[in-house]
Chains A and B, each alone.
Chain A
Amino acid sequence: MSNTSLATGHEGTIGDQVKAYFQRVRSGEMGALPAVSALILLAVLFSSLSPFFLTKLNFANLFVQSAELAVLACALVFVLLLGEIDLAAGVTAGVGMALFVVLNQKMGIDPLLSVIVALAFGSLTGWIMGLFVAKIRVPSFVVTLGFFLGFQGLQLIMLGDGGIYRVDIPAIQAIMNSNMPEWAGWAMLVVMVVASLLIGLWDRSRRTRVGLATRPIAMLYIRLAFMAVLGGVAVAILNQNRSVSIKAIAGVPIVIPIVIVIVFIGTFVLDRTLFGRYLYAVGGNPEAGRRAGIDVAKIRITAFIICSTLAVVSGLLHASRIGSVESTAGRTIVLNGVAAAVVGGVSLFGGRGRMMNAIVGALVISIIDNGLGLIGLPAGINFLVTGGVLVAAATIDALSRKRSGGSILRT
């Protein structure tokens, strides 16, 4: 045979790699680039408009405020990758939390066990919705809309009309309201950088073992240095006292490592497991997946189970932040969750998106909310701007899909 060599995309100097990246962006594979740009733009805009935006307190608040939305958006990524949607994710979290308070406060069941039951309820909900979508092929829009309406009723029945329960379990309150000691913030950063380094080196060793080209190792170091500096600045700021009263508040909020762990596990599942690969395949072309021997229904159902379960986690964060569970919880946040994922670069057409997209998108949505609030604009403007950003993001999604040659129509 002739010894033609095929490129793998790992060859060449850093310059070549950078050039290849811009080529991919031009051909429509933009990923989180528009969202990251928007994030930077909004941060610059708001810091020039409001003196409070760049304060240490607001910096910390921004993370905490966006956490529940970020987790919900991560949950939705799993169904959005299939080209499906889960409109019930918010109220699933709401009912999960209602179940939690009823079990814990009315029936006196151990809080941890109550949380586990709430999570199991999420899984069950996802499984049932998944069955409808995957086996009977009812459009997910309709199935989850039905659950969205029905679960609002369930919330009212469980908590009473206008009912609200205080959550005064210290461990749950701590998630959103407490901070890690200074050293723990630094330790978290070191663990993240070292873990990324080890994963990067492991992947390289796998490639060299079979004789494949590897990217210049400097690229790995640059990426890690970037991560270390950015993370270092964030931890340094968060570790300073940001209190406006006498009692000191300092340290990385506990919720941050929680979100990071969720993103890490989610990314691992999507990028490195068979389930993740099949999720992308089914989202891209279900018929191709079926012919390749993938159990398409099983993949769909599993995605819905993950989504609903993770949604309950986001509900837990919500309950922790506001310190109570109310009968209207989760009605509006789900649309923001979808918006966050799409703004971050997850495609509504399925097959494209990552965990990081959801995080960046959630930060964009939260920063709009936070920034406009600080400027003192009425809430109405907030909705208008968020809506505009969502339409812009969905337009970018559709256009980039067109440019990368995919047809808008799904088979």
Chain B
Amino acid sequence: MDTPLIELTGIKKSFGPVDVLKGIDFTAYAGKVTALVGDNGAGKSTLIKGLSGVQPFDEGVVRFDGNDVHLVNPKQASNLGIEVVYQDLALCENLDIVQNMFLGREETRTGTLDEAAMEFAATKALQSLSVRTVKSVRQKVSSLSGGQRQTVAIGRTVLRNAKLVILDEPTAALGVAQTEQVLNLVRRLADNGIGVIIISHNLADVFQVADYISVLYLGGMVASLATADTNYNDVVGYITGTKSPEGALS
């Protein structure tokens, strides 16, 4: 395997007396989907908030694209090419797909919005993900289904030229068909050369889409496995703590 897109070493984070991340190592690769799993309170959210710059880590080394970086705020993480799609998606229902995808980064021409250019770029970004499910890119988000909204949020990261996309529970509220759609989308995102980290409680989804699985247990990284080398029962064992780490990780 070539150099990781992102490599965390000895990451620590505590809130007062509570050590949430106890010196963890984590890697994710460009063009691969890495699943981050773990029970509630294992530290997944804290890890993600550190990566997105929302809550900087206390200690540890972050290497992104081969360089040491300090992720101190969301804007800087975004400039590096790290984009997070939160569970609530943060879309404006009263705006259409194009307007949402460009929100905060509108293209202008002589001081006015360049709708044609934005519509063109948004369409291209969605096409690169082979999105077929939306009727029109000028549809209002309020008229979209949960899966379609996820599509818009993911499409937005493509528009921003993200290198690493972090998806927080992208299938949590979706039905079977829509989950399938979103997982296909996640796969294509990776196939386009983007590094994807997906957080999920749904192991069926994880085994379907992920190349690697990293398991957090009580603030420690207990396993980092290739999906092909492991099975459902082992991962459940790591998550619940009934199976102890075999590797050098602790």
CB distance from B56 to the nearest CB of A (A): 18
The answer on a CB contact under 8 Å between A4 and B119 is no
Stretch at the interface among A43-51, A255-263, A271-279, A313-321: A271-279
The answer on a CB contact under 8 Å between A9 and B138 is yes
Q: Does A289 contact B (CB under 8 A)?
A: yes
The answer on a CB contact under 8 Å between A293 and B75 is yes
Assuming the contacts A8-B123, A212-B119, A272-B112, asked whether A281 and B140 have C-beta atoms less than 8 A apart, the reply is no
> In whole angstroms, what is the CA distance A285 to B91 when docked?
7
The answer on a CB contact under 8 Å between B92 and A404 is no
* Inter-chain contacts of B123 with A (CB < 8 A): 6, 8, 212
Closest to A347 in B: B94
Q: Does B117 contact A (CB under 8 A)?
A: yes
The answer on a CB contact under 8 Å between A351 and B130 is no
* Inter-chain contacts of A283 with B (CB < 8 A): 94
Q: Does B136 contact A (CB under 8 A)?
A: yes
- For chain B, the count of residues having a C-beta within 8 Å of the partner chain is 41
CB distance from A8 to the nearest CB of B (A): 5
The answer on a CB contact under 8 Å between A273 and B113 is yes
Residue in B90, B108, B130 whose CB lies within 8 Å of A288: B90
Q: Does B174 contact A (CB under 8 A)?
A: no
> In whole angstroms, what is the CA distance A271 to B108 when docked?
13
Stretch at the interface among B12-20, B31-39, B98-106, B221-229: B98-106
The answer on a CB contact under 8 Å between B92 and A284 is yes
Q: Does B131 contact A (CB under 8 A)?
A: yes
> In whole angstroms, what is the CA distance A270 to B90 when docked?
22
The answer on a CB contact under 8 Å between A212 and B116 is yes
Q: Does A376 contact B (CB under 8 A)?
A: no
> In whole angstroms, what is the CA distance A277 to B101 when docked?
13
Which secondary structure dominates chain A's binding surface? loop
Stretch at the interface among A113-121, A129-137, A202-210: A202-210
Q: Does A245 contact B (CB under 8 A)?
A: no
> In whole angstroms, what is the CA distance A6 to B100 when docked?
16
Residue in B88, B94, B127, B138 whose CB lies within 8 Å of A284: B94
> In whole angstroms, what is the CA distance A345 to B106 when docked?
27
The answer on a CB contact under 8 Å between A274 and B140 is no
The answer on a CB contact under 8 Å between B116 and A210 is yes
> In whole angstroms, what is the CA distance A283 to B93 when docked?
10
The answer on a CB contact under 8 Å between A4 and B132 is yes
Closest to A271 in B: B113
> In whole angstroms, what is the CA distance A411 to B113 when docked?
27
Q: Does B234 contact A (CB under 8 A)?
A: no
Q: Does A280 contact B (CB under 8 A)?
A: yes
The answer on a CB contact under 8 Å between A404 and B143 is yes
The answer on a CB contact under 8 Å between A406 and B127 is no
CB distance from A281 to the nearest CB of B (A): 5
> In whole angstroms, what is the CA distance A351 to B74 when docked?
26
The answer on a CB contact under 8 Å between A273 and B111 is yes
Residue in A5, A10, A211, A285 whose CB lies within 8 Å of B92: A285
The answer on a CB contact under 8 Å between B92 and A272 is no
Within 8 A of B (CB), among A285-312: 285, 287-289, 291-294
Q: Does B30 contact A (CB under 8 A)?
A: no
Q: Does A61 contact B (CB under 8 A)?
A: no
Residue in A209, A277, A352 whose CB lies within 8 Å of B113: A277
Assuming the contacts A280-B92, A284-B92, A351-B94, asked whether A274 and B143 have C-beta atoms less than 8 A apart, the reply is no
* Inter-chain contacts of B139 with A (CB < 8 A): 9
CB distance from A174 to the nearest CB of B (A): 34
> In whole angstroms, what is the CA distance A184 to B108 when docked?
35
* Inter-chain contacts of A207 with B (CB < 8 A): 116, 119
Closest to A204 in B: B116
> In whole angstroms, what is the CA distance A2 to B112 when docked?
33
Assuming the contacts A4-B127, A6-B136, A280-B92, asked whether A404 and B142 have C-beta atoms less than 8 A apart, the reply is yes
* Inter-chain contacts of B104 with A (CB < 8 A): 289, 292-294
* Inter-chain contacts of B59 with A (CB < 8 A): none
* Inter-chain contacts of B74 with A (CB < 8 A): 291
Q: Does B128 contact A (CB under 8 A)?
A: yes
Contact mask for chain B residues 108-146; partner A; CB cutoff 8 A; 1 contact, 0 none: 100111111101100100111011101111111011000
CB distance from A330 to the nearest CB of B (A): 31
* Inter-chain contacts of A405 with B (CB < 8 A): 93, 142-143
> In whole angstroms, what is the CA distance A380 to B3 when docked?
79
Within 8 A of B (CB), among A85-107: none
CB distance from B179 to the nearest CB of A (A): 20
* Inter-chain contacts of A8 with B (CB < 8 A): 119, 123, 136-138
The answer on a CB contact under 8 Å between B94 and A288 is no
Closest to A81 in B: B94
> In whole angstroms, what is the CA distance A210 to B108 when docked?
15
- Among B88, B127, B142, max chain A CB count under 10 A is at B142
Q: Does B95 contact A (CB under 8 A)?
A: yes
* Inter-chain contacts of A40 with B (CB < 8 A): none
> In whole angstroms, what is the CA distance A271 to B103 when docked?
14
Contact mask for chain B residues 147-189; partner A; CB cutoff 8 A; 1 contact, 0 none: 0000000000000000000000000000000000000000000
Contact mask for chain A residues 1-45; partner B; CB cutoff 8 A; 1 contact, 0 none: 111111111100000000000000001010000000000000000
Closest to B130 in A: A2
The answer on a CB contact under 8 Å between B127 and A1 is yes
* Inter-chain contacts of B106 with A (CB < 8 A): 274, 277
Closest to B139 in A: A9
State the 6 A-B residue pairs at the shortest beta-carbon distance, nearest first: A292-B104, A351-B94, A284-B92, A284-B94, A9-B138, A288-B90
- Residues of B in contact with A (beta carbons under 8 Å apart): 74-75, 88, 90-95, 99-100, 103-106, 108, 111-117, 119-120, 123, 126-128, 130-132, 134-140, 142-143
Besides the known contacts A9-B137, A288-B91, A404-B140, 7 further A-B residue pairs in the complex with CB atoms under 8 A apart:
A5-B127, A210-B116, A212-B120, A212-B123, A277-B103, A287-B88, A288-B100
Pairs A–B under 8 Å by Cβ, sample size 19: A1-B130, A3-B127, A4-B132, A7-B136, A7-B137, A9-B137, A27-B143, A203-B116, A206-B115, A206-B117, A207-B116, A210-B120, A211-B120, A212-B119, A273-B113, A281-B99, A281-B103, A284-B92, A288-B90
